[in-house]
């Protein structure tokens, strides 16, 4: 922009003098106007400064928020670490408890295993004992059968009669009387004879039976056969 007469540039407002010649013959007086030439630059600087202040203020606020956030995060991290330590302690306690429980369980299993082994031994011993008892019972039964298989019981023989006649004679008379067809057959001599029970019960008047042991089983079988035939008639 070119200046007219009296134009002066600078940071101050520009003063412009214009010469004006009035109609009258009065002396020429200059007219002065203040032109805002540097106002735009100043306003721009002011705006920039305001922006800078706002930016600085925003930066300060952001920095304060970052500080608060950092402090909060630090505190939360410390809390998390503390909780992690507590959890780790709890886990260690649980692990120790589990180890102790496992140890007790293992000891109990060992004791149970020993008891089971002992039970197996006892059961084996019991089975062997039962087998021995069974064998002994069978042996005793066989022995008792051998002892009793030739025995024959006679009922109704008066007490003391065997002392007068003798057991063998009484037996022959009984056979001849009850089984006449066997009278001609010769019977083996009596091996042993006794009263049963051995002692007399004074409260009972019944006669004791006479138990006779023959020397051969076939003699007993003949007598029993004849008795059955007589009973069936």
Give one DSSP letter per residue of 119-173, joined into a string.
HHHHHHHHHHHHHHHHHHHHHHHHHHHHHHTTEEEE--PPTTHHHHH-HHHHHHH
* Per-residue pLDDT reduced to its tens digit, 82-125: 999 999 999 999 999 999 999 999 999 999 999 999 999 999 99
CA 192 – CA 18 distance, rounded (Å): 187
Q: Which of 181 and 81 is assigned the larger pLDDT?
A: 81
- On the question of pLDDT at 75 being above 80, the answer is yes
Coil, strand, or helix at residue 36?
coil
- On the question of pLDDT at 21 being above 60, the answer is no
Average pLDDT in the 53-68 region? 86
Burial letters 13-27, b for 16+ CB under 10 A, else e: ebebeeeeeeeeeee
* Per-residue pLDDT reduced to its tens digit, 186-205: 555 677 778 877 666 666 66
Range with the lowest mean pLDDT among 41-45, 148-152, 185-189? 185-189
Of the pLDDT bands very low, low, confident and very high (cuts 50, 70, 90), residue 147 is low
pLDDT at 128: 94
Of the pLDDT bands very low, low, confident and very high (cuts 50, 70, 90), residue 130 is very high
Average pLDDT in the 58-79 region? 89
All residues at 6 or more sequence positions from 187 whose CB lies less than 8 Å from its CB, including other chains: 171, 172, 175, 214, 219
User: Which tokens in the block code for residue 78?
Assistant: 């410390």
What are the residues facing 18 on neighbouring strands? 31
CA 197 – CA 214 distance, rounded (Å): 19
Beta strands 151-154 and 209-214, pairing class: antiparallel
pTM over 0.75: no
Of the pLDDT bands very low, low, confident and very high (cuts 50, 70, 90), residue 18 is very low
pLDDT at 160: 80
Of the pLDDT bands very low, low, confident and very high (cuts 50, 70, 90), residue 7 is very low
């Amino acid at each position: 922009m070119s200046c007219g007469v009296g134009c002066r540039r600078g940071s101050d407002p520009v003063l412009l003098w214009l010469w004006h010649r009035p109609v009258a013959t009065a002396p020429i007086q200059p007219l002065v106007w203040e032109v805002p030439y540097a106002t735009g630059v100043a306003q721009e600087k002011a705006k920039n400064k305001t922006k800078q202040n706002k930016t600085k203020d925003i930066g300060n606020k952001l920095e304060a928020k970052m500080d608060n956030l950092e402090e909060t995060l630090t505190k939360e991290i410390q809390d998390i670490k503390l909780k992690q330590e507590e959890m780790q302690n709890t886990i260690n306690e649980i692990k120790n408890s589990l180890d102790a429980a496992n140890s007790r369980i293992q000891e109990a299993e060992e004791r149970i295993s020993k008891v089971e082994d002992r039970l197996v031994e006892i059961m084996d011993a019991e089975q062997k004992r039962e087998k021995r008892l069974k064998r002994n019972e069978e042996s005793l039964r066989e022995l008792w059968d051998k002892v009793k298989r030739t025995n024959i019981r006679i009922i109704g023989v008066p007490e003391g009669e065997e002392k007068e006649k003798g057991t063998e004679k009484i037996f022959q008379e009984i056979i001849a009387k009850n089984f006449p067809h066997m009278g001609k057959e010769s019977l083996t001599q009596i091996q042993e004879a006794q009263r049963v029970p051995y002692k007399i019960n004074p409260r009972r008047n019944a006669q004791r039976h006479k138990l006779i042991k023959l020397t051969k089983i076939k003699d007993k079988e003949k007598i029993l056969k004849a008795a059955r035939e007589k009973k069936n008639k």
